[in-house]
Structure 1
Amino acid sequence: MTAESTSPQLGLRERKKLLAKQALERAAFELFEQKGFDATTVEDIAALAQVSRASFFRYFSAKEDVLANEDAQRRAAFMATLAARTDEPVLVVLRDAVHAHIAGMDVLERQRVLAYTRVMIGSRTLLGQAYEIRIQWLRELELLLRARLAGRVDLEMLAPMLADVTMSVLETAMRLASINPELDFDEVIDSGFALLRPL
């Protein structure tokens, strides 16, 4: 249960809605890992969460949406971290933003992201969705890097390359952690950015 679900600012109705949505998310992840994404139906998810099929569609337009539910908020927070630090070397800021992105996840959110990674690897449908999400991240990151580095370097190659490598470091950390839960995220991130030092 997240802090949001127990917040005193939420009324009873809003808390019930949030709890129902969280129950659907937990059920979906459990089934995706047990049966695989493609073999799991919306009916399966609703049944495990003990809600109706119609209730599922109050919160999600498709089962894919359960997995990418919080991506926009995560992406916005990541870009805000980068945008706030304009007077430091770009590689330091990128590395620190990746660290902060992972450190900012609570235990349940991290488990959900790692579960998504495991499920995604086994589903062509989700690989397509993950690619679309990655492109959104890359576009925003590249725009931010172009603005930050304007007038200082040749941006035609460097901005997209830095954006792509930053995403690769983050994705590699998640992929390796989905296989080995004992992985030291900080070590993977620092190793990835150490490769960029010559730039």
Structure 2
Amino acid sequence: MALPAPATHSTPPARVGRRERRSAEIRERLFHAALQLFAERGYLETTVEDITDAADLGKGTFFNYFPTKEHVLATFGGERIAAIERALERAQKGPVLPVLRDLMAGVVGTSTESPAMLRAIYSAHASCAPVRAELHKRLQTARRLMTEIFTLAQKRGEIRRDLPAAELARLTQLLLLGITMAWALDPEGSLPGTAQDVWDMLSPNLQTREKGRKTKSRRRMRS
């Protein structure tokens, strides 16, 4: 004899308390103050005390939220990883090419606020071994997630299969890095616009030959 199912009670979502909101606000203040100083002074020239002074907080407060200065950059990179994770979730539910297009626009979109900040971050990666190691881990994670996206597209016949999904992910990642680095060094024109131009070139070459020919034909007709 089956036991009766236990009664269920709907639990309202927990509200974020004042303390949690305050903690999140302080973390954001530290994060944005740090990025601003990295852009103005450079990563290596910015101290933890500089960051807490700019955020109008005590020096010890910093270490309650970031174990080291390098972890600020890890947070910046983590936002991009989160964007790729969201893209993978979308790709599991629908067509992949629109997801890749939006991902490219979204990733470069997070970089358009300050070319100086990007230059400071690239400089930190080049000159600081712990930061470089953290970047390497993030790149590996991002490439693994993008490989999953390309694998889904290949299984569905949405994109070419003559190149491994991992290789497509690697090449696409290099394109994204190149776009943002080139703009950081010479911020002329629109970064999202450049990303769109690159996507228009890349998309037909990702698709199967038949789909790619149709896409190119439609573009020639529009022009």
- TM-score normalised by the chain length of structure 1: 0.72
Name the SS of the counterpart of 1:111 in structure 2: coil
1:95 match: 101
Matches within 5 A, 1:96-135: 96-102=102-108, 111=113, 114=115, 116-123=117-124, 124-125=127-128, 126-135=131-140
2:146 corresponds in structure 1 to: 141
Equivalents in 1 of 2:171, 2:194: separation in Å?
13
- Asked whether the equivalents of residues 121 and 127 of structure 1 are also in contact (C-alpha less than 8 Å), the reply is no
Residue 168 (structure 2) pairs with residue 162 (structure 1): yes
Q: What is the one-letter code of the residue matched to 1:120?
A: I
- C-alpha distance in 2, partners of 1:127/1:74? 16
Give 1:87 deviation, angstroms. 5.2
1:101: Cα distance to partner?
4.3
Whether the aligned pair in 2 keeps the contact of 1:94 and 1:166 (CA below 8 Å) is no
Cα pair 2:49 2:59 within 8 Å, conserved: yes
Query: Residues 97, 27 of structure 1: CA spacing in aligned structure 2 closer, same or farther, 3 A cutoff?
Result: closer
1:54-93 aligned at under 5 Å gives the runs 54-85=60-91, 88=95, 90-93=96-99
SS at match of 1:132: helix
Aligned partner letter, 1:135: Q
Contact 2:29 2:55 (8 Å CA) reproduced: yes
Q: Give the SS at the match of 2:137.
A: helix
**Cα RMSD for the two superposed structures:** 3.1
Q: Whose Rg is larger?
A: 2
Q: Which runs of 5+ in 2 are unaligned?
A: 1-14, 207-223
**What is the letter of the counterpart of residue 94 of structure 1?**
L
Residue 28 (structure 2) aligns with: 22
**Structure 1 equivalent of residue 205 of structure 2:** 198
For the residues of structure 2 that align with 1:95 and 1:53, how far apart are their CA atoms?
A: 42
Residue 55 of structure 2 corresponds to 49
Q: Percent identity?
A: 26
Q: 1:69 to 1:162 in 2, by over 3 A?
A: same
CA contact (8 A) 2:36 2:117 kept: no
- Structure 1 distance, partners of 2:112, 2:17, is 27
Deviations 1:40-87 (A, max 9, x none): 222222233222232111111111111231543542333333442465
Aligned counterparts of 1:165 and 1:38: Cα–Cα separation in 2: 30
Is contact 1:83-1:144 (8 Å) kept?
Answer: no
| Count of matched residue positions in the alignment of Structure 1 and Structure 2 | 184
